[in-house]
């Protein structure tokens, strides 16, 4: 009997933490898992939600989406948006992190610059969208500066001109996203042992050689993780694009996220919207699996 009681107590201790987590697990299951399963199911039916008796169509919706010119336009815009944003985030974040990690600046100066550089990360997407829409407006500060400096004689509508709207939205995303890289890289730089730099100095290595042979290799795991996370986040970016251009003008800034939204809530094509969402989920899941493997390899 004593052994049975002990076993029950041990089992109770093991299950108690899961009991505390159970409400959260149930909530996540209801709000996350069930909707995902429903969306995957919708992608195999026609006229879902608006029709009481949807018809099973198999992979027809996938064929429809993959043959849609607007979808491929969204793919093209998304690739540009994601790749340029990721590269710019990495470069700007690295440069600012190196500046903040230098020994040539005092602690007070570094503190001021840290606050200034991190400001974009503190704003919500709605605030960023409103701020940049005002700045890029034909009557905004950017046009005023360009005309004052005689860069242009005519006012430019950055977000309403088809040829430059995507670049303008990408610029906004770059500005809002680089602080995450900067803070993460700065933490990585401060974690590198000074002994390595002292050894390289004794070996006669210059600044560039030290950066390439010590700093970059030490930061490699962090940079890979940052790029994977940024890829998923930027790929799913919706709020910033929707609140600045709405995917326009004439689909010039249409991305996969805005394409899915328009299919569902503008055209009421919930089946094709679900199909697009599933395709996006597959890509994000693949990157997610790679990210988890990369994290495990570090451990």
pLDDT band at 210 (very low <50, low <70, confident <90, very high): confident
pLDDT at 4: 57
Strands 55-56 and 45-46: antiparallel
Instruction: Single out the residue of 214, 179, 190, 182 nearest to residue 97, CA to CA.
Output: 182
In a domain, 2, yes or no: no
Q: In sequence order, what are the residues at sequence separation of 6 or more whose Cβ sits closer than 8 angstroms to the Cβ of residue 89?
A: 174, 177, 178, 180, 181, 226, 230
pLDDT at 174: 96
pLDDT at 251: 92
Higher pLDDT pick, 203 / 213: 213
Q: What is the pTM of this model?
A: 0.89
SS3 253: coil
The overall average pLDDT reported for the chain is 89
Q: What is the pLDDT of residues 262-296, one digit of tens each?
A: 999 998 899 999 999 999 999 999 988 888 888 77
Q: In sequence order, what are the residues at sequence separation of 6 or more whose Cβ sits closer than 8 angstroms to the Cβ of residue 244?
A: 129, 132, 133, 159, 168, 169, 172, 253
pLDDT at 3: 58
In a domain, 173, yes or no: yes
Query: Is 65 buried (19+), middle (13-18) or exposed (0-12) by CB count in 10 A?
Result: buried
Which helix (H) or strand (E) segment is 245 a member of? none
- Count how many domains the chain has: 1
1 pLDDT above the threshold of 60: no
In a domain, 100, yes or no: yes
pLDDT band at 90 (very low <50, low <70, confident <90, very high): very high
In a domain, 49, yes or no: no
- Residue 151 maps to which CATH number? 1.10.3720.10
In a domain, 77, yes or no: yes
SS3 55: strand
Instruction: Single out the residue of 130, 125, 145 nearest to residue 257, CA to CA.
Output: 125
Angle of the 165-190 helix axis to the 216-235 helix axis, nearest 10: 140
- The neighbouring-strand residues paired with 55 are 46
3-state helix, strand, coil in the chain (%, to 5): 75, 0, 25
SS3 56: strand
Q: Report CA 214 to chain centroid distance, whole Å.
A: 28
In a domain, 65, yes or no: yes
136 pLDDT above the threshold of 70: yes
Instruction: Answer left, alpha or beta for residue 51, where phi above 0 means left and psi between -120 and 50 means alpha.
Output: beta
In a domain, 243, yes or no: yes
pLDDT band at 135 (very low <50, low <70, confident <90, very high): very high
Which helix (H) or strand (E) segment is 109 a member of? helix 107-122
Q: What is the mean predicted confidence (pLDDT) over 34-50?
A: 89
- Residue 154: domain span: 60-298
pLDDT at 132: 95
pLDDT at 7: 65
Instruction: Single out the residue of 73, 49, 56 nearest to residue 276, CA to CA.
Output: 73
Yes or no: say if 132 and 172 are a contact pair by the CB < 8 Å rule: yes
Q: Which of 12-21, 67-76, 183-192 has the lowest mean pLDDT?
A: 12-21
Q: What is the pLDDT of residues 73-85, one digit of tens each?
A: 999 999 999 999 9
In a domain, 48, yes or no: no
pLDDT at 47: 78
Q: What is the mean predicted confidence (pLDDT) over 207-223?
A: 89
């Amino acid at each position: 009997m004593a052994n049975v009681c002990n076993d029950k107590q041990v089992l109770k201790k093991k299950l108690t933490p899961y009991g505390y987590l159970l409400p959260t697990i149930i909530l996540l299951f209801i709000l996350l898992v069930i909707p995902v399963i429903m969306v995957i199911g919708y992608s195999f039916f026609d006229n879902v939600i608006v029709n009481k008796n949807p018809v099973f169509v198999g992979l027809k919706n996938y064929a429809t989406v993959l043959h849609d010119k607007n979808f491929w336009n969204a793919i093209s815009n998304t690739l540009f948006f994601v790749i340029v944003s990721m590269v710019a985030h990495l470069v700007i974040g690295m440069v600012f992190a190196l500046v903040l990690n230098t020994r040539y600046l005092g602690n007070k100066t570094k503190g001021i610059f840290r606050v200034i550089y991190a400001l974009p990360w503190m704003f919500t997407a709605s605030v960023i969208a409103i701020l940049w829409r005002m700045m890029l407006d034909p009557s905004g500060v950017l046009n005023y500066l360009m005309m004052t400096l005689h860069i242009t004689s005519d006012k430019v509508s950055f977000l309403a001109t088809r040829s430059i709207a995507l670049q303008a939205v990408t610029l906004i995303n770059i500005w809002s996203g680089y602080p995450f890289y900067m803070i993460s890289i700065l933490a990585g730089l401060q974690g590198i042992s000074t002994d390595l730099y002292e050894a390289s100095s004794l070996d006669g290595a210059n600044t560039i050689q030290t950066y390439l042979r010590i700093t970059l290799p030490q930061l490699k795991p962090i940079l890979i993780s940052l790029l994977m996370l940024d890829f998923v986040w930027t790929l799913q970016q919706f709020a910033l694009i929707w609140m600045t251009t709405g995917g326009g003008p004439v689909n010039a800034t249409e991305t996969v996220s805005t394409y899915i939204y328009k299919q569902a809530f503008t055209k009421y094509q919930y089946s094709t919207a679900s199909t697009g969402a599933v395709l996006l989920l597959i890509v994000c899941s693949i990157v997610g699996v790679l990210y988890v493997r990369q994290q495990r390899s570090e451990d």
